[in-house]
Structure 1
Amino acid sequence: MINICRRPSAKLSKPARCFRPYSLANGNIPPWRPSNVLDEWVQREAHPISLRQLTFFGRTLTESRLLSSANYVRLELPTRIAHRLRNMQTLPYSALTNEHISHVYEAYYRAFETFRKVPEVRTLDDNDRFCEVLKTTLKEHLTVIPRLAMGILEIQDSVSGDECDQFMNTLLRSRISRRVIAEQHLALNETFHSPWHFDGKKSGTAPEDEFVGEIFLKCNAKEIVEKCASRASELTRKAFGPDVALPKIILQGHLETTFPYIPSHLEYILGELLRNSIQAVVERRGAGRDVPPPIEVLICEAAQHVIIRVSDQGGGVDREILPYLWSFAKGPRRNKRLQNLGKVPRLAATMQELQIPPSSDPDSAEAGSSGEKFGSSLASLSGRRPDLRLGIGLPMSRIYAEYWAGSLELHSLEGYGCDAFLQISRLGNKNEVLSTRASMDAV
């Protein structure tokens, strides 16, 4: 059960509070936790950043800048986690005792306690130890997305669908923000220790000329569409058989445009859109050998934005699903979604999760051979079957699109097909869209 205790204290202006969630799964009762520790961090404001700021900061990487990056991450992570813990504490009693919500709460609190106790990073050795903590925590939190999605579907007797969606959006947006700054620092640390790096000086055509940490300065939409289309086609063949006739992907528009972006974010969004379009076309036409209508992808470069339109002739979205297209909690097929989510042990929201890993063990060396970095981005994370539909791809894609002040819209023409419009900032000068801060007096 959840116990919130209030004890008078002469040193505090208001009573100290303790918060203790209880997991129905195993009956373990965590130790008492004084919430005044959390209060101190909830008072702090998060400091949003933009792709341009991250690029300028990491472009000339010195030891001093690397240590400065470590201390920024060291303070930002517990601050951002504290606000989300406070959000979770405001859920009703029955919601917080849910097995999956309790699991996420415990994981967040462990991370909060870990990061708030990290001392100031003063040396490269300190930074190396901090990076190991980051890597461990990133790996441990790969269970968060499926656990949250299952928990949200199970607590609707006590929390409305709209509140569940708001809660899910808040936690996932904050999760993206934390992983971005953590993975960016890990990537900068990797660059600093690389053989081509010479204490802030460049040497010829080093890889850091195009990458600054996780940010690819010359991200090309055409190349990413082709990469995602190839993977989505492979996925569909595994689901429908090697002889299935797949729609051709026709690329049009400004095919040479480039912009700074985090490739894994764009890969995830376009991967979901293309997978949905290809499967819709194949299912509408049947798994025969007749040539299906093509999927058209238009890339449009404007002064401040890049707009990518994905158009298919897959028959459109079912009328019963359309009103709930962007919802994590509402809509039909709830039980089926819960069953499918239970089959996904880990999910980091990357393109690779759409594939069958080479090994059934996601922790094996073979499973990570596709380019695993820091236990999350570009990793084969689960044994998810290619036809295993979770119902979270589109709403998660919209969160990723909006994170850097972009947008994602979908227009369904019933009986014909869908047009999806993805807009992203071309200049990289938009701050990350952080979740609102939690209230000190929420609990």
Structure 2
Amino acid sequence: MTGKKAGEGFSKGLIEGVQKWGSMKQTGVSLRYMMEFGSRPTTRNLLISAQFLHKELPIRIARRAIELQSLPYGLSYKPAVLKVRDWYLDSFRDLRSFHDIKDKSDELEFTQMIKMIKVRHNNVVPMMALGVQQLKKDLDAKINYKDLDEIQQFLDRFYMSRIGIRMLIGQHVALRDPSPLPDCIGYIHTKMSPVEVARNASEDARSICLREYGSAPDVNIYGDPNFTFPYVPAHLHLMVFELVKNSLRAVQEKFMDSDKVAPPIRIVVADGLEDVTIKVSDEGGGIPRSGLPKIFTYLYSTAKNPLDEHSAIDLGTVTTMAGYGYGLPISRLYAKYFGGDLQIISMEGYGTDAYLHLSRLGDSQEPLP
């Protein structure tokens, strides 16, 4: 490992800029605002959007860069975390060195740049997972995970902020799409059918289960396929995929050597006045109560991490049945980003129910860490 100190190789001016911008106030937006604003992607609105991002993104990115430099247990100096920090500093520099946005050609150029920033940060999650793994290797195996609360809270803030940054960039870039999909405003689908998204996500999860185990339990979905509400389908797909994948794995492993037929996973979509709730139920044996607090931590996974330091896999394309134990905590952040939540209720010896609550109102502001 190189003994590169935080910020080495970056100019003093840049580091001072990060400190200055990192102390500014962030501005949150709501799903409803993104929808109303994006429904008229005029040249003027795209200009306003780019000007907003030109000021907002450096603040959000600087805050994360500062936090990355002062993590407990020496996590900041793990090679993988230094790499992530460099990505954030590079992106901050790109944004700050971009001139004021005054006309359409400025806005186009700016859009190309933030597209590149989004790609640069594609592998932040696996890379941070690798950093935490590097840390766990060095820490005493007997360390009490309660002591790692600080890292847990940092990662929650860090990933929540990342969801917001990617949503803002993705939304702006998508508004420029010359041929948008019907009923879509950027990333937001104004008439999204949760039943349809749940079906697609389940099929994706089942195909991975089939690949891994040679068979997969059925998934039955209950709910009105014609019911729609405005949401970001990519976010919902990710959350349902993760929940169904966990259920499939639990059922598959419980019934693998049994002559009984594996019971199906049941998905129920309920349409309430305030919330849309999606329940994913399985009979995969459940989780012991002592294990429940651990399922939302980033420092715990029952499966071995597919991202080994020595593997030269392309991080972007890998989806395995079980991973760096990040699926649940990150899914919960996606739910909370638009004012929802994710709860897991388990009956050890029987199975698990996951309740995904999505806010229907779209009015809640982004939770800004």
CA shift for structure 1 position 318? 5.1
The answer to which structure has the higher helix fraction is 2
Counterpart of 2:335 in 1: which secondary structure? helix
Per-residue deviation, residues 83-104 of structure 1 (Å, max 9, x unmatched) = 1112222225832221011111
Residue 92 to residue 429, structure 1, CA distance change in 2 (3 Å):
closer
Counterpart of 1:337 in 2: which secondary structure? coil
Work out which of the residue numbers 139, 142, 157 in structure 2 matches 1:170.
157
Counterpart of 1:187 in 2: which secondary structure? helix
Residue 51 to residue 292, structure 1, CA distance change in 2 (3 Å):
same
Per-residue deviation, residues 75-120 of structure 1 (Å, max 9, x unmatched) = 1111101111122222258322210111111110000011111112
Work out which of the residue numbers 188, 192, 199 in structure 2 matches 1:226.
199
Per-residue deviation, residues 106-141 of structure 1 (Å, max 9, x unmatched) = 110000011111112222221221122112111111
Work out which of the residue numbers 219, 233, 239 in structure 1 matches 2:212.
239
Residue 419 to residue 333, structure 1, CA distance change in 2 (3 Å):
closer
Residue 396 to residue 110, structure 1, CA distance change in 2 (3 Å):
same
CA shift for structure 1 position 72? 1.0
Aligned AA (2:345): H
Counterpart of 2:12 in 1: which secondary structure? coil
The answer for the alignment partner of 1:285 in structure 2 is: 255
Q: Which has the larger radius of gyration?
A: 1
The answer for the alignment partner of 2:130 in structure 1 is: 150
**Aligned partners of 2:301 and 2:323 also within 8 Å:** no
**Aligned partners of 1:42 and 1:82 also within 8 Å:** yes
Counterpart of 2:296 in 1: which secondary structure? coil
**Aligned partners of 2:193 and 2:229 also within 8 Å:** yes
- Between the aligned partners of 2:309 and 2:191, the Cα distance in structure 1 is 35
**Aligned partners of 2:287 and 2:352 also within 8 Å:** yes
CA shift for structure 1 position 430? 1.4
Greater shift, 93-102 or 109-118, is seen at 93-102
Per-residue deviation, residues 293-334 of structure 1 (Å, max 9, x unmatched) = 1211111111111011111101112566433100002x4659
Matched, 1:256 2:226: yes
**Aligned partners of 2:338 and 2:359 also within 8 Å:** yes
Residue 48 to residue 294, structure 1, CA distance change in 2 (3 Å):
same
Total equivalences in the alignment: 360
Counterpart of 1:298 in 2: which secondary structure? strand
Matched, 1:382 2:321: no
Work out which of the residue numbers 239, 253, 257 in structure 2 matches 1:269.
239
The answer for the alignment partner of 1:127 in structure 2 is: 107
Q: Which runs of 5+ in 1 are unaligned?
A: 4-19, 23-28, 195-206, 348-380, 436-443
Aligned AA (1:210): D
CA shift for structure 1 position 153? 3.3
Aligned AA (2:330): M
Work out which of the residue numbers 28, 35, 38 in structure 2 matches 1:58.
38
- Between the aligned partners of 1:342 and 1:179, the Cα distance in structure 2 is 28
Work out which of the residue numbers 10, 34, 38 in structure 1 matches 2:18.
38
Identity among equivalent pairs (%): 31
Aligned Cα RMSD in Å? 2.5
CA shift for structure 1 position 254? 4.2
Matched, 1:412 2:337: no
Residue 289 to residue 74, structure 1, CA distance change in 2 (3 Å):
farther
Matched, 1:48 2:39: no
Matched, 1:294 2:277: no
- Between the aligned partners of 1:416 and 1:344, the Cα distance in structure 2 is 39
- Between the aligned partners of 1:78 and 1:133, the Cα distance in structure 2 is 13
Q: Which runs of 5+ in 2 are unaligned?
A: none
**Aligned partners of 1:146 and 1:341 also within 8 Å:** no
